[in-house]
Structure 1
Amino acid sequence: MSRLSNALTMYMLLQGRSLIKIEELAEILEVSPRTIKGYKKDLEDAGIYIGAKSGRYGGYYLENRIDLKSLGIRKEELEALKMANEIIKSGNHVFSLDFETLANKILNIKRDFDHIDYFNKDNLKPIYMKERESEMWNIISKGIINKKKIRMLYSSIGKGIKKSEKRVRIVHPYGTFDHDGATYFFGYCEMRKEVRHFKLSRIIEVEVLEQKFAINIEYDIKNIMRKSFGIIDDDIFYLKLKISYPMSQLVKEKQYSLDQKITEVDEENIIFEANLKGYQEVKMWVLGMGSKAEVLEPERLRKDVIEEMRKLQKIYELDTNICTNE
């Protein structure tokens, strides 16, 4: 980055924290401590004054922080922050309490939150899991910011794995995202030789290594998520379903794909068409609709659903025979 970009980044880092060591700033910006002192002078020449605290626990701090009142926050923006606060704190996010504290500090509007009654129906995580995910997130975020590899012991589940499989992975962490109430990070996995997603709740232990990495793979997480039904990045396939009421009404209320097409057959039935990624997740979605969804295309998915139905039939036939014998 340019000298100006680095100076602005340093300013934003100081804005977000009360005190940062010069050595830590130098490591994040990948420059020398002497250069950091040069950025300090550049910022002070622009009227941004930076204080310095000496000693073991010393570092740089901002003497004049942003006055948020001068930013001209609109009423609509204030309402958006209130609702975002209510959504986050009522859901599963590991930093829900921290976000609420931040909102209160920024706008000092604790009294204005009281009239909003909102609750997220997602299954709530146990407290111990939230605390553990918060710990994992903090460690992984250091690897992302400093572009350092991480070593972790990870418990995998998926196709072809009969039980939880624990393996050591070396990963180049690129970023984080949330999906379906869970927090993930993504990065290049040295074992799989490709970019993979990892669920924070399945990480058993993790550490940041000293070895740095360079991002040499183009990976647009937002674009991939827009095309995927879930988070699995596999081949795109064409899906065509006939869906009956009440599932037809629920499907009409959601956006599963940017190119999805819904044709109303009559008051109760629709034809759903889309190009999607995430075959296994789509299969589970279709099975979850039971008799209210019929797969028209692809033929592979139709056969897989029939196979799953046969397995269920065997299970329940066995239960029926047991009850009859009793």
Structure 2
Amino acid sequence: MGRVSNALKMYMLLQERKIMTVKEIAEILEVSNKMVYEYKKDLYEADIYIGTKLGRNGGYYLENTLNLKGINITEEEVEALKMANEAIKSGNYHYAIEFEILSSKILNAKKHFEEIPYYNKDILKPIEIKEKEKQIWTHINKAIIEENKIKINYSSINHDKNQPNIKTRIIHPYGIFDYEGAIYLYGYCELRKDIRFFKFSRINKYEILKDKFKINIKYDLKEIINKSFGIYDDEPIDLKLKIHYPMSQIVKERQYSLNQNIRDIDENTIYFEAKLKGYREIKSWVMSMGSLVEVIEPVKLKEDILEEVNKIRNLYE
């Protein structure tokens, strides 16, 4: 990591932790104590002043903070800013670093804002799940900043019925994002040797490890999401559908994939074609259209839907 990047990371660490020793900063950045002093000088040149507190609980701290007293920022607005910051960090956005610095300044401007509650937009989510996600969110964010591996026990819904669905995995946490009210961790999975998504509510147990990691895989989360029907990152399928009115009109008004192709068969029927990931969600979406859709390809999807229809019929007979 370069000198500028390390100085920026040191700034973010002090925003997060309030006070840190030179030794603590040096260990996280994997540099010498002397380099930490150099980063302090670099930040000073950028008008970011770092003070030193002596004594047993002393260390470096940020001196210049933003005074928000006169602008009446509410707790709800602060919570919204924090979650917006997490969402922006999850993708490739212009000025993402600048926004992160700005939000950190605001969020740490006063002691009143130091303990900001975890926020989730899904107000119908059970309290116990929100509390669980709040705890995981806090600890994993720290692991992301400090580049610590985490060990999780994870319940997957994509599993063999004959095998236990709870597996222990070692993850290199890259980031956190929100998808339809659910919170997900994404990172490199040592078990799968690839990038994977992990839903917070399915993490049964976790441990922040002392082992460090480096992001050495080029990975564009935004690109993956644009190619997936949802957040599942499985093998893509060539989906071809014949869709009838009124669902044909609804589908024409939405963007399901950047590579989708829609053409009119007649005034009431369309032909929908796209290469998509996320087989489970694709299947649920197609079935939600009932008799107004016909699967042309893949054949497996046809067979799986027919099997599901037979199961439903058996339930009501």
Interval containing the TM-score (normalised by the shorter chain)? 0.7 to 0.9
Bigger radius of gyration: 1
The change in CA–CA distance for 1:296 and 1:124 in structure 2 (over 3 A counts) is: same
Shift of 1:164: 7.0
Tell me if the contact between 1:27 and 1:146 (Cα under 8 Å) persists in the aligned partners: no
**TM-align CA RMSD:** 3.5
**In structure 2, how many angstroms separate the alpha carbons of the residues matched to 1:9 and 1:273?**
45
Using the size of structure 1 for normalisation, the TM-score is 0.73
Tell me if the contact between 1:157 and 1:163 (Cα under 8 Å) persists in the aligned partners: no
Q: Which residue of 2 aligns with 1:97?
A: none
**In structure 1, how many angstroms separate the alpha carbons of the residues matched to 2:46 and 2:278?**
50
**In structure 1, how many angstroms separate the alpha carbons of the residues matched to 2:230 and 2:46?**
47
Structure 2: unaligned runs, 5 residues or longer? 69-75, 85-102, 110-120
Shift of 1:199: 1.0
Q: Which residue of 2 aligns with 1:291?
A: 291
**In structure 1, how many angstroms separate the alpha carbons of the residues matched to 2:253 and 2:163?**
36
Q: Cα deviations across residues 84-138 of structure 1 (Å, max 9, x unaligned)?
A: 949x79xxxxxxxxxxxx79x67x9xxxxxxxxxxx7x67211221121111122
| Paired amino acid for 1:10 | M
Q: Which residue of 2 aligns with 1:261?
A: 261
**In structure 2, how many angstroms separate the alpha carbons of the residues matched to 1:174 and 1:215?**
8
**In structure 1, how many angstroms separate the alpha carbons of the residues matched to 2:216 and 2:9?**
23
Q: Which residue of 2 aligns with 1:301?
A: 301
Using the size of structure 2 for normalisation, the TM-score is 0.75
The change in CA–CA distance for 1:26 and 1:218 in structure 2 (over 3 A counts) is: same
Tell me if the contact between 1:148 and 1:211 (Cα under 8 Å) persists in the aligned partners: yes
**In structure 2, how many angstroms separate the alpha carbons of the residues matched to 1:316 and 1:123?**
34
- Give the SS at the match of 1:149: strand
The change in CA–CA distance for 1:56 and 1:163 in structure 2 (over 3 A counts) is: farther
**In structure 2, how many angstroms separate the alpha carbons of the residues matched to 1:291 and 1:24?**
62
**In structure 1, how many angstroms separate the alpha carbons of the residues matched to 2:195 and 2:314?**
39
- The 5-angstrom pairing of residues 217-228 of structure 1 reads 217-228=217-228
Q: Cα deviations across residues 30-88 of structure 1 (Å, max 9, x unaligned)?
A: 223332122212322444321122234333222223579xxxxxxxxxxxx97x949x7
| Paired amino acid for 1:128 | E
**In structure 2, how many angstroms separate the alpha carbons of the residues matched to 1:213 and 1:257?**
33
- Residues matched between the structures, number: 282
| Paired amino acid for 1:170 | I
| Paired amino acid for 2:166 | K
Shift of 1:305: 1.6
The change in CA–CA distance for 1:60 and 1:158 in structure 2 (over 3 A counts) is: same
Worse overlay, 42-51 or 228-237: 42-51
Tell me if the contact between 1:50 and 1:61 (Cα under 8 Å) persists in the aligned partners: yes
Higher relative contact order (CA 8 A, sep 6+): 2
Tell me if the contact between 1:28 and 1:145 (Cα under 8 Å) persists in the aligned partners: no
Tell me if the contact between 1:142 and 1:208 (Cα under 8 Å) persists in the aligned partners: no
| Paired amino acid for 2:124 | L
Tell me if the contact between 2:159 and 2:165 (Cα under 8 Å) persists in the aligned partners: no
Percent sequence identity over aligned pairs: 54
- The 5-angstrom pairing of residues 60-99 of structure 1 reads 60-65=60-65, 85=80
- Give the SS at the match of 2:249: helix
**In structure 2, how many angstroms separate the alpha carbons of the residues matched to 1:46 and 1:146?**
23
